[in-house]
Structure 1
Amino acid sequence: MTTVATTTGSTVDPTSAVQQAAQSIISGSTNSTMDVNSLVSAIVNAKVAGQTDALNNKKTADNTQLTAIGTLKSVLSLLQSSITNLANGTALSAFTATADGKGLTATAGSGAVAGGYSVNVQNIATSQSITSGAFKSTDTLGSGSMTINVNGKPSTIKIDSSNNTLSGIASTINSASDNPGVTATIINGTDGAHLVLRSSSTGLSNGINITVDADDSTSPLNKLAVKTTTVASSTAADPNDPTKTITTPAHTSIDSTGGWNQNTVGQDANLTVAGTAVVSSSNTIKDAITGVSMTLASDSVGTTQTLTIGQDVSGQKTTIEAFVTAYNNFVSTASSLTSFDSTQAAGSQGGALLGDSMMNSIKNTISSTISRAIGTGKDQVNLASIGIALQPDGSLKTDEDALTDALTNKSGTIASLFNSTNGVAAQLNKSLTSFLQTGGLIDTRTTALNTDLKNIADQQTQLTAYTQQLTTSYNQQFTALNTLMSSMTQQSSYLTALFGGSNSAGAMSDSKK
């Protein structure tokens, strides 16, 4: 006997429901109370349960597939991220830059080539710092304006009763919206307060110039005027060794009648790279060696170091191993989604994408790319050529020593295997893009499932409306029937009372004749 699910989760036997309906009608004729609502609910549920279960099962199956496809998309995206720099050649063009002394660091970027370079640093770049003459901290310096100029960038500040002390002027300089690159502070010494200005940028061209336009030509404000000039590079005999010379690089000097002193000169960095003179206003030097950025510190002054540019073997190894990990993650996930376990209950034995054509297409494409050789004839190379072996379960296993040796001593093999035209990573990246892109294999399937879920929702809405219609109709019919049966029972009782039986004392019975 077939059973169907009710909306409350119980099961109803359709035949039994009909029997119950008949029994209720019979009971009505014997003065029993008929539960119309329960009767109607059982009959309606029996009528729609099959369709309801079919829609719910389809909805569950669709949502299970959507979840599985979301998981698949995630691992494929991670796999694509792991091979991006292998596919476009960035990883294999990465270099490291290492100096064999102190105070010189460097990074190698795009355009760098392997090689060794002798770097001799005469001096590093410095920023100018100047200190004013002494003032009393409470002195008012008058009114007017000051214009501070650094490397052609001027800033004019107004001086009045609100800021005409030394500390007020320092604060106004620091807060100026068009500050040209100067920091101001106050140093309180035994002789009084001093205004100290420091250029924010290193280099000969970033000297500080101040012009004053005082309202009173005799006010102390005029003492803050200062002019920076440049002293050319010079060479003189070394006082400690007459056979040697000392070169003084070009630097800043100041011209002031107000008592300013120069604490630190502003000067460019001077060095030679592979015997070629290099001058830089900054201690970060980006254009002396193509693709290499060098940074100088004071420890490098007076030293000659060798800067070695070499392949970034460690970084390349990390990138390749990240690819292997991401690929193995895909293999594991794909295996789970397409698994079959006969020990599980019927309906739960297969993975969400077992036998799925989309899943099979993705697996076959990726595994084929991974196992394919690059090149022709004796020049063919594959992942095994660099110590990455394909395992029976489809995963990859890395021989660390073999990979390191390949990266260090077989750059040609690496370059061929991961070339940006048809290398393993380039081909894999192309396939993954086709799978993951809008309108691609995964997007098309996801759209179809979401469309199906919407159709199911529409059908469920229609079924709900139909269920309500049936319920209303049956309620009306059985209520009318119950009323009729009740009326018939009353009439039967009346006739019995009126005519009676053979022993009846009814008014019209034979015994009354």
Structure 2
Amino acid sequence: MTTTGVNGTASSESSLLQQAAQSILSGLTNSTLDVSSLVSSLVTAKTAGQQQTITNAISSDNTMLSALGSMQSALSSVLSALSGQTSTAGQAGSLVDGTIFQSLSATMSGSGITASTTTGAAAGTYSINVTQIATANQISSKAYASGATLGTGTLTIGVGSGSMSITLDSTNNTLQGVANAINNSSTNPGVTAAVVTGTDGQHLVLTSTQTGAANTVTVSGGAGVDSGMATANFTQVTAAQDAKLTVSGTSIDSASNTITNALTGVNLALTSASVGTTQTLSIAQNTTAISNQIQSFVTAYNQWISTETSLSSFNASAAQGSQAGPLLGDAMLNSAVNGIASIMSSGITVGGTTYDLAQIGINLNHDGTLSLDTSKLNSTLATSPSTVSAIFNGTNGFGEQLNAFISSYTDSATGQITQRESSLNADLAAQSQAQTSLTAWEQTLTAQYQAQFTQLNTLMAQTTNETSYLNRLFGGGGLSGSLNSK
């Protein structure tokens, strides 16, 4: 570490004073002083020590804040991994309170049905038979010549129990005009319109935006509207129908292909590929979610080890001043490292049985990092899931202990890191104030010295003029003297 302490500062000030003295001597020789350079040298000599102290303090505070930020980030990532905040969608639960082991996953034995679990799902197997899926009603008008008009009056479009009215006039009484009016209406009850041109002419095609038998599309035209604009004169392209299925023998009808209330805590999504099939739905512990979250924890923990090692390292071959990590020997970091290591190397006792991380494939390496034997973890989840849940139980499990200990450092209100950062920020504020005061003093000194040496310069110029006059009068300085010539 480079040290520019008192001796270095004193040497710098001495050099600046020597420069100032030389400027004065030069001024005496040349009859005038370089006031600007002289003042700058003297002011810098007066303030250099204080400026260096402020600069060093600010640099040290900022370095420490950066190091603490890295420590906070690494520890927070461990907590996030334990709590499940880094998990992907559908992998709900935490290794802190053990709720991850209550997470269930749903799998289907065939295709065409997607199943997912929500709150309230229960483990078990269920038989699902789908006879039809829900479809949206679609109807098509008779053929019209391109640009044919449909008369004037009121056209009513209905879907289920809702309806809308369109006034036809010369601006919109074509198939395309009607389609545009339907699609742009603020009172549209749930229908889309399109004009399809075929070999026989143009057709107005209306489609319900919702599936289900109740959501049929109807069309009726008032007086003056072409008679083709009536439901009876439209051809049904797709019938409106509900999905029909059985879950373990219980019949279910659904207007939607997304079924959320047939089986508590389970959502089913049907596609046409499921029609006519009987499949098995299995609800079981979500071992994939558990395995993924443990892997996330191991990854975050190893990043913490890498971070704390870097912050506390010493590299003798590095350039002087950058050999030591910013938190080398720091009591707070050492306390965190030792506390976490102690938790990780201890066993967890549940019901008189002691468990350790190695039993589920989490191995502690010599360098402090963790390695995960995924095969062993998955095998334990399959054969002895209670072992995994015991190790991460919500009372005294590894996750709960780590969460409580690490939070004492990372808590945004009371954490040790926050307190250290507050102290450093307070010192930075104090250094900023000290810099402001020093700058004001520099300005005062500059003005003072400027006035003094400007006055000295004037006096020296007067002395030089008088000396020149006397030399010319009496002789001297290589002159014969006007009085001596008489």
Q: Compute the TM-score of the two structures, normalised by the length of structure 1.
A: 0.81
**Structure 2 CA distance for partners of 1:201 and 1:34, relative to 1, 3 Å:** closer
Does the CA contact (< 8 Å) of 1:93 and 1:311 recur in 2? Answer: yes
- The question of 1:82 aligning with 2:86 is answered no
Taking the aligned partners of 2:376 and 2:189, their CA distance within structure 1 comes to 57
Does the CA contact (< 8 Å) of 1:130 and 1:197 recur in 2? Answer: yes
From 361, 373, 391, give the equivalent of 1:387. Answer: 361
**Structure 2 CA distance for partners of 1:485 and 1:106, relative to 1, 3 Å:** same
From 429, 439, 447, give the equivalent of 2:403. Answer: 429
Question: What residue number does 2:223 align with?
Answer: 215
Question: What residue number does 2:69 align with?
Answer: 70
- The question of 1:441 aligning with 2:422 is answered no
- The question of 1:333 aligning with 2:341 is answered no
- The question of 1:286 aligning with 2:260 is answered yes
Taking the aligned partners of 2:134 and 2:241, their CA distance within structure 1 comes to 5
Shift of 1:138: 4.1
- The question of 1:418 aligning with 2:397 is answered no
Taking the aligned partners of 1:188 and 1:208, their CA distance within structure 2 comes to 21
**Structure 2 CA distance for partners of 1:110 and 1:52, relative to 1, 3 Å:** same
* Partner-residue secondary structure (3-state), 1:148: strand
Taking the aligned partners of 1:66 and 1:13, their CA distance within structure 2 comes to 35
**Structure 2 CA distance for partners of 1:14 and 1:163, relative to 1, 3 Å:** closer
Does the CA contact (< 8 Å) of 2:79 and 2:406 recur in 1? Answer: yes
* Partner-residue secondary structure (3-state), 1:206: coil
Question: What residue number does 2:329 align with?
Answer: 355
> Runs of 5+ in structure 2 lacking a partner?
1-5, 85-93
Taking the aligned partners of 2:429 and 2:134, their CA distance within structure 1 comes to 69
Shift of 1:485: 4.5
Greater mean alpha carbon deviation, residues 397-406 or residues 76-85: 76-85
- The question of 1:113 aligning with 2:118 is answered no
Does the CA contact (< 8 Å) of 2:17 and 2:45 recur in 1? Answer: no
Pairing 1:214-363 to 2, within 5 Å after superposition? 214-216=222-224, 220-221=226-227, 223-226=228-231, 256=232, 259-344=233-318, 347-363=321-337
Taking the aligned partners of 1:103 and 1:280, their CA distance within structure 2 comes to 16
- The question of 1:58 aligning with 2:57 is answered yes
Does the CA contact (< 8 Å) of 1:283 and 1:296 recur in 2? Answer: yes
* Partner-residue secondary structure (3-state), 1:267: coil
Taking the aligned partners of 1:494 and 1:334, their CA distance within structure 2 comes to 79
Taking the aligned partners of 2:420 and 2:308, their CA distance within structure 1 comes to 17
**Structure 2 CA distance for partners of 1:110 and 1:421, relative to 1, 3 Å:** farther
Percentage identity across paired residues of the two chains: 45
Taking the aligned partners of 1:505 and 1:199, their CA distance within structure 2 comes to 123
Pairing 1:367-406 to 2, within 5 Å after superposition? 367-376=341-350, 378-406=352-380
RMSD between aligned residues: 3.2
Taking the aligned partners of 1:283 and 1:19, their CA distance within structure 2 comes to 94
Alignment: residue pair count: 468
Question: What residue number does 1:44 align with?
Answer: 43
Taking the aligned partners of 1:286 and 1:69, their CA distance within structure 2 comes to 48
Taking the aligned partners of 2:79 and 2:119, their CA distance within structure 1 comes to 22
> Runs of 5+ in structure 1 lacking a partner?
227-255
- The amino acid across from 1:92 in the alignment is F
From 180, 185, 188, give the equivalent of 1:176. Answer: 185
Taking the aligned partners of 2:17 and 2:194, their CA distance within structure 1 comes to 99
* Partner-residue secondary structure (3-state), 1:205: coil
Shift of 1:89: 4.5
Q: Give CA-to-partner distance per residue, 1:279-300, whole Å, 9 cap, x none.
A: 1111121222222211222222
Shift of 1:332: 0.7
Does the CA contact (< 8 Å) of 2:143 and 2:203 recur in 1? Answer: yes
Q: Give CA-to-partner distance per residue, 1:420-469, whole Å, 9 cap, x none.
A: 44432234334444414245332332232222112212211211221232
Question: What residue number does 1:230 align with?
Answer: none
Taking the aligned partners of 1:211 and 1:79, their CA distance within structure 2 comes to 65
Question: What residue number does 1:452 align with?
Answer: 427
Q: Give CA-to-partner distance per residue, 1:259-305, whole Å, 9 cap, x none.
A: 33323222211111112112111112122222221122222222211
Question: What residue number does 1:237 align with?
Answer: none
Taking the aligned partners of 1:505 and 1:166, their CA distance within structure 2 comes to 122
**Structure 2 CA distance for partners of 1:155 and 1:431, relative to 1, 3 Å:** farther
Greater mean alpha carbon deviation, residues 318-327 or residues 353-362: 353-362
* Partner-residue secondary structure (3-state), 2:125: strand
- The question of 1:153 aligning with 2:155 is answered no
**Structure 2 CA distance for partners of 1:84 and 1:498, relative to 1, 3 Å:** same
Taking the aligned partners of 1:57 and 1:194, their CA distance within structure 2 comes to 82
- The amino acid across from 2:226 in the alignment is P
- The amino acid across from 1:220 in the alignment is D
Shift of 1:329: 0.5
